[in-house]
C-alpha cells in the first residue's frame, strides 16, 4: 500500500480545527488527535472527528505500569480509533499488557525516540549512544512484545524497515515539505517523498498544513510528493 498522510491536528481547540477539517475533507483520510486536543475536549471529540469521515490516530503516548496502561487501552478501545501510541521505553511487560487488552482492530504503535531528541538530549536523560542505537533497541522490544507498528523519525525509517517484519507499520513524524522552514522542536526531519522512499507506511504532517493559508492545497502538495516516491 502506498504511504499515507496523517494530518496532525495539533491545535488549541475544536473551533480552530473545524475549518481545517472542512478544507482537507476528501483529501486527507487520517487525522492525529494528540494530548492537546484530547485534554481540551476528551473522548467526544474523537467521536466527532470520526463522524466527519476521518480515520483517527490517537496519539497519547501511554507510559505507566503495565496494569494501568492495559486498563487505559481497554477504556480507549471503545472509541472509533485505528491507531494508538504508547512509549516503548515503558518496557516489554507494559507493551505486552497493552497488546493483550487491545482489540484486533486497534494497531498499537511503539514510540521509540521522540523526534525532538538528538544524541545530546538522550545523553542528558542517561541514555548512552546515538538516537539510532536507542531506536533499534526499543523497536525490537516493542515488536517482540506485540506492537503492530512503530513511531520513529524519518532518519531511522530505512534502518527499521530492514530490521522489522513487513507487517509492522512505520509511522513517521518530523516531516517537512521541501522549501519549508523547520525552526521548531523537530530535529530529525525529512521530506514526504524522502520518508516514503525510506519505507514509511504513514507520514504525520502538522504545522506545514495547519499554518498554511490554504491547508487543502498544501495537503494536496504533500500527497503529490508522496505519489512521486
Residue 187 has pLDDT above 80, yes or no: no
Residue 54 has pLDDT above 90, yes or no: yes
Alpha carbons 103 and 217: distance in angstroms, whole number: 36
Question: In this prediction, what percent of the chain has a pLDDT beyond 90?
Answer: 78
Would you state the pLDDT for residue 175? 87
CATH number for the domain that contains residue 141? 3.20.20.70
Q: What is the mean pLDDT of residues 208-229?
A: 92
Residue 62 has pLDDT above 60, yes or no: yes
Cell numbers linked to 90: 515503558
Alpha carbon separation from 76 to 8, 63, 202, 213 (Å, rounded): 19, 14, 22, 34
Number of domains, the chain: 1
Would you state the pLDDT for residue 152? 86
Would you state the pLDDT for residue 117? 85
Would you state the pLDDT for residue 181? 55
Alpha carbons 217 and 194: distance in angstroms, whole number: 20
pTM confidence score: 0.92
Which residue among 61, 99, 100, 187 is the active-site one? 61
Domain coverage including residue 146: 4-228
Measured at the alpha carbon of residue 30, what is the angle toward residues 26 and 35, in degrees to the nearest 5? Answer: 135
Would you state the pLDDT for residue 180? 58
**Residue 75 · residue 43 · CB < 8 Å:** no
Would you state the pLDDT for residue 99? 98
Would you state the pLDDT for residue 42? 97
pLDDT tens per residue across span 194-204: 889 999 999 99
Would you state the pLDDT for residue 61? 98
Question: Residue 32 catalytic?
Answer: no
Residue 186 has pLDDT above 80, yes or no: no
Please report which confidence band the pLDDT of residue 154 belongs to, taking 50, 70 and 90 as the band edges.
Answer: confident
Amino acid at each position: 500500500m502506498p504511504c499515507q498522510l496523517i494530518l496532525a491536528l495539533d491545535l488549541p481547540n475544536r473551533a480552530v480545527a473545524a475549518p481545517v477539517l472542512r478544507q482537507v475533507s476528501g483529501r486527507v483520510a487520517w487525522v492525529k488527535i494528540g494530548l492537546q486536543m484530547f485534554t481540551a475536549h476528551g473522548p467526544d471529540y474523537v467521536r466527532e472527528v470520526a463522524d466527519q469521515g476521518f480515520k483517527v490516530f490517537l496519539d497519547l503516548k501511554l507510559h505507566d505500569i503495565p496494569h494501568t496502561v492495559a486498563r487505559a487501552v481497554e477504556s480507549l478501545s471503545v472509541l472509533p480509533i485505528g491507531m494508538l501510541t504508547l512509549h516503548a521505553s515503558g518496557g516489554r511487560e507494559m507493551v505486552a499488557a497493552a497488546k493483550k487488552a487491545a482489540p484486533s482492530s486497534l494497531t498499537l504503535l511503539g514510540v521509540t525516540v521522540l523526534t525532538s531528541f538528538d544524541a545530546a538530549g538522550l545523553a542528558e536523560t542517561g541514555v548512552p549512544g546515538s538516537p539510532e542505537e536507542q531506536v533499534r533497541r526499543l523497536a525490537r522490544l516493542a515488536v517482540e512484545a506485540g506492537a503492530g507498528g512503530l513511531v520513529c523519525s524519518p532518519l531511522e525509517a530505512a534502518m527499521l524497515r530492514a530490521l522489522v517484519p513487513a507487517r509492522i507499520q512505520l509511522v513517521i513524524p518530523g516531516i517537512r515539505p521541501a522549501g519549508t522552514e523547520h525552526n521548531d522542536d523537530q530535529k530529525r526531519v525529512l521530506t514526504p517523498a524522502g520518508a516514503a522512499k525510506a519505507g514509511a507506511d504513514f507520514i504525520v504532517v502538522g504545522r506545514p498544513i495547519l499554518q498554511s493559508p490554504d491547508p487543502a492545497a498544501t495537503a494536496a502538495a504533500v500527497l503529490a510528493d508522496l505519489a512521486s516516491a
